Amino acid sequence: MKNRLLCVFVAVLITTSALGDAGVLIPRDKQQPDPAILSLEEMEITVRIDNGDARVFVRQVFANHTGAIEEGNYIFALPSHATISDFATWDGPVRLPAVILERKRAEELYNQLKQQAIDPGLLQMGERGAEEAKRSSVFSARIVPIPAWGTKRLEIEYHQSIPVEMLKSYFAIPLRPDAYHAQTARHFRINFELHSAHAIRNFDAPAKTFPLQLDQNTPHTVIGHYEGQDVNLTEDLVTTYELDPSESDKLQLLTYRNPVSDQPSPTETSPVRSVNEPGFFEAQALLGYGNAGTSDAAATVARKTVIVLFDTSLSMQWEKLERSYQALETLLRTLKSQDRFGLVLFNTDTQVLPVSAADSPNIQHAIDVVRASRLRGGTDLQKALQFGLQQAALSGVNDAYLVILSDGGATRGPIQNGKIAAWYASAWNQLPLTQRPHTYILAVGDDANLPLFRLLARQDGVLDHVLSTEPIDFKLNSFLSKIGRSPVGELGLTVTPGAAVDAVYPLQASTFPGSLASWIGRYEKPQERASFIVHGVREGTAVQLTGETSLPRESLDHPQLPRLWAKARVDALLEKIERDGEDQASIDEIIRLARKYKFVTPYTSFFAVPRALLRPRVIRPGDPILRVKTDESIVSVIALFPFGLVQPLRYLSSEDIWQTRFLAPVDMQDGTYTVRLVLRDQIGHIYRESKTFVISSKPPTLKVKLDRKRFQRGQTIDLKVRASESTRTLVARLDGAVPVTLRWDAKSAANTGSLTIPEQMIPGDYKLTVIAEDIAHNIGTEEVQIEVLP
């Protein structure tokens, strides 16, 4: 059995590129899924949403259509608020799960096997650096062996927290192709369950490729399924639903206790039976809009000032820049005439546009400045925050918002999260009370520095996070809707008797009217009756919700609660470490909880195999960057390029990565090329690995179709665009209007979208521009002349 376990290796790669595809298996030496080699024979997705916690289990079977033993790279893009809880491959009838170990223990095994010339490794949360281990969103595993003419079964499970915003919830699994071509599942099945203690309404699953058949649709339960053959996975699996407003300002209480459970043993072999386990509870308060009635009415009509910190450092390339720019443009174009705004562009240096009126010329000037700027240098985040606070103080209003659009990766000035957060808290508190801005953060990118942003958002702020792998519209609209509104203040939970519970943690950093506030806690002994009171201040008025329940000796209805509590406890310990430094007691508790409840942390690892990482994988001729991630023992990396160049790589200690620039000859033909890497470790051992990249120089082509070209103000332009196969994103732009991202619509056999002409637009002739970008970031455009009528 020991040798068999060594035949299946797994590795995690955390990338900043867009890998918006879930469950893709790419044959070795290929850049795209190739069904002629490895095809997706079966895919089953089982979703169970229990009061905002989604457990997603994906089972896939891939078939090898060659007479050789194959290997592949398995890619699964995780949504935000999601963490891996299980992964396994099957060797015939035997399930081989990945095992969570203490990080230090896993590295010891790694070194032992490497000395035996076996190709071992570590599957960790993030890449090998401790700082990178705190950021994750894309799961990547090398799968070997895949038997000749045989099949390989893979299973992955993750848990995702589903927020409630404006009494609405949005859940998605990213199946739509992004970096890779669409997969076809020969047999595809979806099992879906939604359970909610708060009444729900208007449940919708809009996918046309795999429409859910609803077997039950009641105010508290939705059950559905889909089954089909030869399904082309061109859409995300999306569901939306609303919480019934009549259920607002009600408190729901969930409990779970299994007095006997299995726990991992210290030797990582057989589990140990544990008795007298604690119980867990979750208190969920659905906070309505109070006297305001709706989110629009709840938004303040007073003048507000918005100062935007816009990151233009090199780390913001590609998808991060696209998403932060979309957020900036949408924000500016939704400001009211009485509002004011300022702009701080920052990298190593800063460029400041002082606070000015939010009229059309000023907004257009700011957008033009951003478009004309270039990504360069590192990130001096503290300097940008300092300029932002200065602009807020100079604005002279008591309702200023500091909006940060960044990945938070500081590389200049202070770079330690704890020091930056402590400085910002001090500088913020030194301002007069009326000049302290709300700190609103939209973190962008798969590697966003969420630990730092959580600390910054403590200063009267909000933190939202959008990945390169997920649709942005719902999250962006939710984030922008909070600007000008006040969260529920002084929000807290009181439990009576207090001694009955311990270790209670809030699951949201802040809660706005129309959202859900939740607390997760633990109890050691059963209690016949416990009272819960949620209290806070909403729009200046005190609000109080009450509830009562027993803390039972046994209750198995909500099995996600222990894991939710353990994750909240670990997050609190990690934040303590981030702020005060490491201590052994906290580290030991993190490791114990992660192993017991099965999730990866910066201090735990799956046992797996290391992979060097070449990015970008698809490039244009010119001057691209080769970046390679290695394990810590490597002291030298040399790249041998196919056109004769031999180039040593330089180690960047601040990023824990090897890097070099290389000049790809402009006359290189489009196609796939191999670069050979020679790695040397501390004791002189030499390792060789080959990586492939694709040269792509031709911009995508597109054809725009409109049903007419003359429109009244306030009308909607319905677009249909056909683009070449390599196209990754399509965006329609019209000066003065909010840009629109076009999505593939199988029924129309085209990319479609709707762009609304603003009511205040001046009549005349305008150019509607559609911009297409492929996975190599080549740009193609087409312009269409339209006329706006009075």
299 confidence band (pLDDT: 50, 70, 90): low
> Each residue of 680-726: pLDDT tens digit?
888 777 877 777 766 777 788 899 999 899 999 889 999 999 988 77
Answer yes or no: are the C-beta atoms of 210 and 150 closer than 8 Å: no
Q: Give, for 518, the enclosing helix (H) or strand (E).
A: strand 515-523
Q: CA nearest 25: which of 80, 94, 97, 75?
A: 75
Find the range with the poorest average confidence among 139-148, 226-235, 388-397, 496-505: 139-148
| Phi, psi dihedrals of residue 154, rounded to the nearest 5° | -125, 145
> Each residue of 510-550: pLDDT tens digit?
899 999 999 999 999 999 999 999 999 998 899 999 999 99
Upper half-sphere CA count for residue 53 (Cβ side, 13 Å):
19
Return the pLDDT at 127.
Answer: 34
pTM: 0.69
Task: Count, in order, helices (H) and strands (E) of the chain.
Answer: 11, 49
Answer yes or no: are the C-beta atoms of 456 and 439 closer than 8 Å: yes
Average confidence (pLDDT) over 594-611? 69
188 confidence band (pLDDT: 50, 70, 90): very high
Return the pLDDT at 119.
Answer: 34
Residues composing the chain = 790
Average confidence (pLDDT) over 460-471? 82
Number of C-beta neighbours around residue 780 at 10 A: 19
Q: Assess whether pLDDT exceeds 90 at residue 307.
A: yes
Return the pLDDT at 688.
Answer: 78
Secondary structure letter of residue 484 according to DSSP: T
Contacts of 120 (CB under 8 A, 6+ apart): 6, 9, 109, 110, 113, 114, 607, 608, 609
Answer yes or no: are the C-beta atoms of 126 and 12 closer than 8 Å: yes
Q: Assess whether pLDDT exceeds 70 at residue 437.
A: yes
Return the pLDDT at 660.
Answer: 84
Average confidence (pLDDT) over 638-665? 83
Find the range with the poorest average confidence among 205-209, 482-486, 685-689, 697-701: 685-689
Q: Assess whether pLDDT exceeds 50 at residue 622.
A: yes
> Each residue of 77-127: pLDDT tens digit?
777 778 888 888 887 777 777 766 666 655 555 455 444 433 333 343 333
